[in-house]
Structure 1
Amino acid sequence: MKKKKIQNIIIALIAIFIIGSIATYSYSVEQTKQKGLQFGIELEQIQEEVQKLQIKFYSEKTRWNEGDISKKELLEYYEKHLKEFKTIISKYDELTPPELFKSSVELLKISSETQLESDSQFIEWMKTGDESAKIRSDTQFQEALEYEMLGLVEFYSAKTGVKNYDEGEKFEAPQSGLTQKVIQVSENMKNQCNIEFINESGEFDSDKIEIDWFNCINEAEKWKIEHLP
C-alpha cells in the first residue's frame, strides 16, 4: 500500500510538472508574440524617422536655393542633421528582434549608416564645392537604397515565413515568388524615376528636379512596402 501511495505521489508530481511545463510554454509563446509585435512597431518607427529626416535634409537645400535661408543657416542645420541621424541610428542597437529578423535589422542599420555617410559627403560638397565629394555622396546614396531593399526583402521573407503561433506548425515556406514580383515592379518604378529626372550625364538639371526624383524614389519604396506580402 505504501509503495502504491509513493507511486501515486510520483505520478501526481509528474502530472504537475507536465501541466506546469505546458503553462510555461504557452506563456513563453505569448511573450514571444508580444515581443515580435513590439519589435515591428519600433522598427517601423525608426524607418519613418529616417525617411522624414531625409526628406527634410533635401527640402532645406531647396529653401536655401529659393533664398528662404542663408548658406550659414543651411550648414548649421546640416550639422544638427548629422547629430540627429546618429541618434536615430543608435536606436537599431536598442531593438530586441526575434532571431529570424536579426539580419534584416543589420541590413537596415547598414543602409542608414551608408546614408549618413552620403549626407556627410553631400555637406562636404556644399561647403567646398568638391565634385568628388558629390560623386561619393551619390554612390553611397545608391548603396544605401540597395542595402535598404535587401533589408526589406529579409524582413518580409522572415515575416511571411512565420505562421500564426495558434496553428500547428511554427514555420512555413516564405512567399518568395510574390515578394520578388513586388520588388521587381518597385525597381521598374525606380528606373522610370531615373529616366524621367536624371539627364544623360547622370546628373540633375536643377535642385527641384533632384527633389522630384527623391520623392519619386520614395513613392516607389512606399508602394513596395504596402504591397509586399
Structure 2
Amino acid sequence: MKKKKIQNIIIGIIAILIVGLIAGYNYSVEQTKQKGLQFGIELEQIQNDIKDLQTDFYSEKTRWEEGGITKEELFEFYDKHLEKFNKVIQKYDDLNPPELFKSSVDLLKISSQTQLESDSQFIEWIKTGDESAKIRSDTQIQESLEYEMLGLVEFYSAKTGVKNYDEPEKFETPQTGLTQKVIQISENMIKECDNQFKNDLGEFDSDKIEVEWFNCVNEAKKWKIEHLP
C-alpha cells in the first residue's frame, strides 16, 4: 500500500474519531442542559408547593377566627397540612441536581424541615395555649428563613458561575456584585417587616398582624427571586 494512501486512511480515521467525539460531546452537553432544566423545574415546583401550603396554613386559622370553620375542622386541616408538608419535603430526595447545586438543595430542604417544625409548634400553641410553643415556632420561622436565604445564595452563585469548584467547603458568599446587593435589599425588606409588625419583644400583638407579617416576608422573598440575576 502506498504511503500517500496510508496517510489518507489515517486522516480519514482521525476525522471520523473527531466527528464522533464532537457528536458525543454535544450530546453530553445537551443531556447536561436537559438535566439542569428538569432539575430547576422540579425544584421550583417544590418551593411553590411549600409557599402554597404556608399561605393556606395561616389562611385557615383566619377562617376559624372569623367563624368560617370550627376548631375541630381547623385541627383536621392541620393534620392534613403536616401530612402534605412531609410529602413535599420528601420530594427533595427525588431531585437529581447537578453537583454544584447539591448544597443549595440541602439547605432548602433544611429550611423546609425547620418550617414544618415551626408549624407543629404553632399548632401545639393553638391546641394548648402554651406560650413556649409559640416562641419556639417564631424562632424556627426565623431559622427557616435564614436557611432558605443561604440556599438561594448557593443556588444563584452556582447558576451565575460564581461557584465553580469541586469542594463546597471552599465556597464563601460573594460580598460584591448584583447578587449580593439583591440579597441585602431583601434582608432589609424582611427586617422592615419585623419592625412594622412585631412588638418590642419580637412577638405579634394579634394573629391578624402575624398573618400580615407573613405576607410581608413572602413579598420580600418574591421580590428577591424576581430580581436575582
TM-score for the superposition, normalised by structure 2 = 0.89
Q: Report the Cα distance in structure 1 between the residues aligned to 2:102 and 2:54, rounded to whole angstroms.
A: 24
Partner of 2:29: 29
Aligned partner letter, 1:219: E
Partner of 1:191: 191
Once the 2 structures are TM-superposed, how far is the Cα of residue 5 of structure 1 from its aligned partner? 5.2
**Are the aligned partners of 1:49 and 1:88 in contact in 2 as well (CA < 8 Å)?**
yes
Partner of 2:115: 115
Partner of 1:166: none
Deviations for 1:18-42, whole angstroms, at most 9, x for unmatched residues? 2111100011101111211111111
Deviations for 1:148-186, whole angstroms, at most 9, x for unmatched residues? 000111111111118xxxxxxxxxxx8952111111111
Partner of 2:222: 222
The Cα RMSD (Å) is: 1.7
Aligned partner letter, 1:26: N
1:84 aligns with 2:84: yes
Once the 2 structures are TM-superposed, how far is the Cα of residue 9 of structure 1 from its aligned partner? 3.8
Partner of 1:170: none
Q: Report the Cα distance in structure 2 between the residues aligned to 1:46 and 1:102, rounded to whole angstroms.
A: 15
Aligned partner letter, 1:113: Q
1:179 aligns with 2:179: yes
Once the 2 structures are TM-superposed, how far is the Cα of residue 146 of structure 1 from its aligned partner? 0.3
Q: Report the Cα distance in structure 2 between the residues aligned to 1:175 and 1:34, rounded to whole angstroms.
A: 31
**Are the aligned partners of 1:161 and 1:175 in contact in 2 as well (CA < 8 Å)?**
no
User: What is the correspondence of 1:1-229 to structure 2 with a 5 Å cutoff?
Assistant: 1=1, 8-161=8-161, 176-229=176-229
Structure 1 portions without partners, runs of 5+:
163-173
Once the 2 structures are TM-superposed, how far is the Cα of residue 201 of structure 1 from its aligned partner? 2.1
- Where 2:177 maps in the other structure, the secondary structure is helix
Q: Report the Cα distance in structure 1 between the residues aligned to 2:98 and 2:178, rounded to whole angstroms.
A: 23
Partner of 1:167: none
Aligned partner letter, 1:177: G
TM-score for the superposition, normalised by structure 1 = 0.89
Deviations for 1:63-110, whole angstroms, at most 9, x for unmatched residues? 111111111111110010011001111111111111111111111111
**Are the aligned partners of 1:157 and 1:176 in contact in 2 as well (CA < 8 Å)?**
no
Q: Report the Cα distance in structure 2 between the residues aligned to 1:176 and 1:225, rounded to whole angstroms.
A: 18
**Are the aligned partners of 1:58 and 1:211 in contact in 2 as well (CA < 8 Å)?**
yes
Where in structure 1 do 4 or more consecutive aligned residues deviate above 6 Å?
none
**Are the aligned partners of 1:121 and 1:136 in contact in 2 as well (CA < 8 Å)?**
yes
Once the 2 structures are TM-superposed, how far is the Cα of residue 14 of structure 1 from its aligned partner? 3.1
Q: How many residues align?
A: 218
Aligned partner letter, 1:50: I
Once the 2 structures are TM-superposed, how far is the Cα of residue 15 of structure 1 from its aligned partner? 2.5
Once the 2 structures are TM-superposed, how far is the Cα of residue 12 of structure 1 from its aligned partner? 2.9
- Where 2:226 maps in the other structure, the secondary structure is helix
Partner of 2:169: none
Once the 2 structures are TM-superposed, how far is the Cα of residue 226 of structure 1 from its aligned partner? 0.7
Once the 2 structures are TM-superposed, how far is the Cα of residue 7 of structure 1 from its aligned partner? 5.5
Partner of 1:169: none
- Where 2:152 maps in the other structure, the secondary structure is helix
Once the 2 structures are TM-superposed, how far is the Cα of residue 131 of structure 1 from its aligned partner? 1.6
Once the 2 structures are TM-superposed, how far is the Cα of residue 2 of structure 1 from its aligned partner? 6.3
